[in-house]
Structures are given as structure tokens and as C-alpha cells.
Amino acid sequence: MKKKLYNVAIAGATGVVGKEFLKILEERNFPVGEIRLLASERSAGARLEFKGKEEPVRLLDEETFEGIDIGLFSPGASVSAKYAPKAGKAGCIVVDNTSQFRMDPDVPLVVPEVNPEAIAGYKKKNIIANPNCSTIQMVVALKPIHDKYRIKRIVVSTYQSVSGAGKEAMEELSEQVRNLFNMRSPEVKVLPHQIAFNCLPQIDSFLENGYTKEEMKMVNETRKIFGDDTVRVTATTVRVPVFVSHSESVNIETEKPITPQEVKKLLSKAPGVTVVDDPKEGLYPMPIDAAGLDDVFVGRIRKDESIENGINMWIVSDNLRKGAALNAVQIAEVLIKDYI
């Protein structure tokens, strides 16, 4: 007989994704028994509201996962590396939002609308990896196309909000705007350069091949999620002065002939996707409209006239919700429905 309530721990509870976990668990009426909020020594002792009650934030340590069924992790990769395996050994199934386990062959990398069957692989380590935020929204939109027409190549350029770099980056953008409007020099502490009124073609550090880690995440994670190493992917990831929601310009080349009308029809029926595509009326996805919403929004769907079977599209989604917390909670929902 299945349990009716599940004990849930949130590691990194005081961060922007941790707080989003709390909000989404409550919004979706996830069957939470005990909620255990965990954070570093700096944040331990704080209190966060959940279902109208203030819950204490405890210190994340090796003893905090006893009796926990599901752990939602977003504490940073090095912290996940240390504590996720310990939580797994304690019987807690971890859904990890960091990059630590995404390419581990023994850890499933899951987007529920795309490859929910992969969740079954959690039993090897009791860990499931949440993909990178920019990867999630792209594969949600592209998987229905890949299934029917088979995508050969993906070229993606991202326009990623500062919330993807955490609350400190959001505060830095706010402070820089204030300073500039008051004729003061903006301080740069979190991001590599001034982000206010600027675009930074660098997210994470550069690798020997000239790509950033963020760009190679999109390449490698897309192939793993699709279960298809033959898909060619190239990415340029850019930080833009937007607080919430990532945008992506995506170009695909398919094996089979494809038209924009077929793409619109296919995506209008796809789970987790909303098509917003009426250029004559000025309707297309924008970050300010996607913020706070669950779906991936797709528009500007048009033929790429430079190649035989090419399509261009514009994809926007709230990176804190579908790109992080919501995707993890959806994984947890599949876990309690089909596995535990």
C-alpha cells in the first residue's frame, strides 16, 4: 500500500530555487508529511513559511536525512557531491538540481515531459539529476519534433536571466541600475562584467575548446535526455539584464521534410508547451510574460530558408520554475505515482 504522505527535505532551502521548491510544493498540493528545510551554517536558524506555518531552517549535515523519503537539492554542486550520496544511502531519493550528477551514467537525467521512463534508473544510487535550466526548456519544445521528424542538428543561442546565477546576481543587477541612474560607477562582484544595460557572452568558465561549461552542458545533456548521441548540438549562452526567465533562439535541421505549420500543430498538443505565435498582432513569447508560469512558450516558428529541412523558433520559460524547481517537483510526483 502506498504512503499517503511523504517526508521531504529541501537542501539549499534559503536560495532562490529552494524558496521556489516550497512555493511549488504548496501550489501543487504535494502530499508532504514532514518538511525539513536544510541550509548552510550561515542560514541555519532562519524561518520560512510553508502552508501558513513558519518552518525552521536546520543545518545541513550527515544526520538530517534519516526518515526522509524525497530530497530536493539545490545547494551547489560541491555540497550535493558530499551529501546526496549520503542521503541516498539513508533511503532518501534525491532529485538534484546541481550539475554534479547529470552526466553520471548511473544517474538518470530527467525531464518528465520528455523521458519519464528514465526515472526508473534512480535505484542504482537513489539520485535523479535535474538538467540545466536552458536545456530543460529547449528539450521540452524539441522532443515532439524529434520523435516525428528526427532532429539532425540544433543551433541554439540563449538569452539567460541573472536569476540563473542566484540571488546575489539579481541583487547585483538591481544595485548596478541604481548606481548608474544616480551617476555612480556600477560595482562588479558576482558576474564577470557589468550586467546592467549589457550582455555577457559568458556563462560559467571557458573550456579548452573555446566553449563555456554552460554551452557544453546543453550539448551533452540534450543528447543524454534524447538518448541519441548522433544529434549534433552547438550552443552560445549569453547572460542578459533580465531578472527571471530564459529566452532561446533555436534553429533545427530535421531528417524528414517539415513545415512551420506542422511544428505549430505538433507543439500545440505537446505537454508543457504553449504556442504564442501571431507576429501580425505582435504576439510572441517574452520573459516578462513567462515569469511565474509553468509552461515553455514557443513562437516565431518559421522556415529556415538557408537549408532543406530547417526551422527557426523562439523559446522562453521561467528558469526558476520549469528550469529548476518545477521540473524537480514533477520528477517527485512521478516517483510517488509510479515508483515509491
Q: Are the C-beta atoms of residues 119 and 335 closer than 8 Å to each other?
A: yes
C-alpha grid cell, residue 74: 539545490
- Calculate the CA 330 to chain-centre distance: 12
Nine-digit cell at 229? 548521441
Report the DSSP pairing between strands 32-39 and 53-59. Answer: parallel
Q: Give the number of residues written for the chain.
A: 340
What cell numbers appear for 23 in the block?
512555493
Alpha-carbon span 76 to 214, nearest angstrom: 15
Q: Please check whether residue 244 is in contact with residue 166, taking contact to mean a CB–CB distance below 8 angstroms.
A: no
The grid coordinates of residue 165 equal 546565477
The answer to whether 222 and 141 are in contact (CB under 8 A) is no
Show Cβ contacts of residue 81 under 8 Å, excluding neighbours closer than 6 positions.
Answer: 100
Query: Whole-angstrom Cα distance, residue 186 to residue 199?
Result: 15
The Cα–Cα gap between 93 and 51 comes to: 23
For residue 285, give every residue at least 6 positions away whose Cβ sits within 8 Å of its Cβ, in sequence order, or none: 247, 276, 297, 298, 299, 314, 315, 316
Active site residues: 133, 246
